[in-house]
Structure 1
Amino acid sequence: MDAPSKQITTSNRHSSGWYTASEVALHCVPSDCWLTLLGLVYDVTSLLPLNPPYLAEPMLLRAGGDVSHWFEPRSKDVRLVQDPKLQILRAFTPQGRFIHIPPQGPISDWDNGYLLPWWLDDQYVIGRLSPKTRFVCIKNVLLANEVIIEVPSEETMKEILERYLPINSHARSYSWEAVVSDECGEFVRVDMDKSLAENGITDDSDLYSSMGMAADHVVPCIHVYYDDDLTIA
């Protein structure tokens, strides 16, 4: 189907642990700072006020974005480069020294009272960045409205429903149906414990891209039909 004009990008944390780059990008201010690193999503908001502003600044410059190029993929530790003047290895800090990177010499405001640097500390990891996302249209047949949501391809329909709840708080009282690849164009009820692909809802975005069309120009549509009102808004 042709894509409806209204697109929604969610910004809350998700029980699935999967995130899209678009929603990570929404967390880009000092009071709400997320970063992606080697496929993981970090919430470093709590670190920023505990450290000098000049150490937080490089991370804020990349807030809502990716810093994988600062790190070694194998060790997941900071990349080391040769200092041309001192002829020693030092941390790769293209935007300046950042939190938990030690100084090269004595300094009064250096705090080394942490057990692990933030990039190796699981307490800051909130999930994973989806390497493949999909756009899906959800049409409320009762109200005759529809929205497009970008979702990680790894999520189940039940987890996609959670993303839809801020738009329709009674979504759990609806039946979810879609056209699947082996049902001759007819809408059938989807298995909420399976992903879009596992339900036979094909992803043709690569085909559209090869034809010069935007990936979200044509998207699969899920129809939600009202059953009863057993949920509480």
Structure 2
Amino acid sequence: MLRPKYFTRKEVSLHNTLGDIWVSYLGKVYNLTPLVEENKGDVLLKPIIECAGKDISHWFDPKTKDILRHVDPLTGCIKYYTPRGRFIHVPPPCPRTDWANDFWRPWWKDNCYEVGLLSAKTRWIRIINTLISQEKRLEVCSEETLDEILQRYLHYNAHAASYTWKHNGVNLDMSKTLGENNIPEEDELYCGSIDCNLFSSSICLYFNDDLTEF
């Protein structure tokens, strides 16, 4: 099975326009752009559009994975709790004949919108290309393997796979995470330091010279 892709909160936050709407909730990341496109012009999209790029876990009951509910003080009935206003697939408070309920399942229960997982904790690392003395600081997901981090770094170095990745002179296992490779986090290295945010673990890249002498 393929590993799920992890995203940082910053990556999710970049998808915050009408034509590109992502949200996260209960540890997962969803692309709701198709939902918005299918219901274009519907006033019930407003709460979703307002929260584009944000985490909306507070909309949900973590036990049931459903929208939070409350007892209506006027009717005594149990209803969905939507303080930002009713949104797509949430039934109206009272019976109505004009509410379209012919959708397959509510969007928050439809995994077709799921694109990955939200990282529980991110880390900053410095990747140093020893061949050209170039350094790049990256925010990565603590759950990612070095191979997955390499995919991020390809944006800055298309030949990243042609290098040997090392930390403190030791070859890294690219199938393992930073933690599994015993690479300490910055708060472990500089705990209590006023400059702790300025430091991060470094990974050195050594180019693999495949030229053969004749």
Give me the TM-score of the superposition, normalised by structure 1.
0.82
The answer as to whether partners of 1:16 and 1:155 remain within 8 angstroms in 2 is: no
Structure ranking higher on relative contact order (CA contacts 8 Å, 6+ apart)? 1
| Alignment partner of 1:138 out of 127, 133, 153 | 127
- Structure 2: gaps (5+ residues): none
Instruction: Give identity over the alignment, percent.
Output: 42
* Matched ranges for 1:95-114 at <5 A: 95-105=84-94, 106=96, 108=98, 110-114=99-103
Q: Find the counterpart in structure 2 of residue 23 from structure 1.
A: 11
Q: Secondary structure of 1:151's match?
A: strand
Question: Partner amino acid for 2:174?
Answer: M
Q: CA RMSD in A?
A: 2.0
Larger Rg: 2
After TM superposition, give the deviation of residue 49 of structure 1 in Å.
2.1
1:13-58 deviations in Å (ceiling 9; x for gaps): x964111111111111111111111111111110002224321110
8 Å contact kept, 1:15–1:159: no
Query: Whole-Å Cα distance in 1 between the matches of residues 107 and 190 of structure 2?
Result: 40
Q: How many residues align?
A: 207
Is residue 219 from structure 1 mapped to residue 200 from structure 2 by the alignment? yes
Supply the distance in 2 between the matched residues of 1:15 and 1:144 (Cα, whole angstroms): 33
Give 1:64 shift: 0.8
What is the CA distance between 1:212 and its match in structure 2?
4.7
Partner of 1:8: none
Corresponding residue SS for 1:225? strand
Per-residue Cα deviation, 1:83-137 (whole angstroms, up to 9, x for no partner):
22333221111111111111123153x3322221111111111111111111111
TM-score (norm 2): 0.89
1:144-200 deviation per Cα after TM superposition (whole angstroms, max 9, x unaligned): 211111111111100000011111111111111112xxxxxxx22111011111111
Give the direction of change, closer, same or farther, for the CA distance of 1:140–1:125 in structure 2 (3 Å limit).
Answer: same
Is residue 2:37 matched to residue 1:78?
Answer: no
Tell me which of 174, 193, 198 is aligned to 2:180: 198
Distance 1:137-1:115 versus aligned 2 partners, 3 A rule: same
Gaps of 5+ in 1: 1-13, 180-186
Amino acid paired to 2:184 = T
2:70 and 2:81 in contact (8 A); partners too? yes
Stretch moving more, 118-127 or 49-58: 49-58
Confirm or deny that 1:61 pairs with 2:50. yes
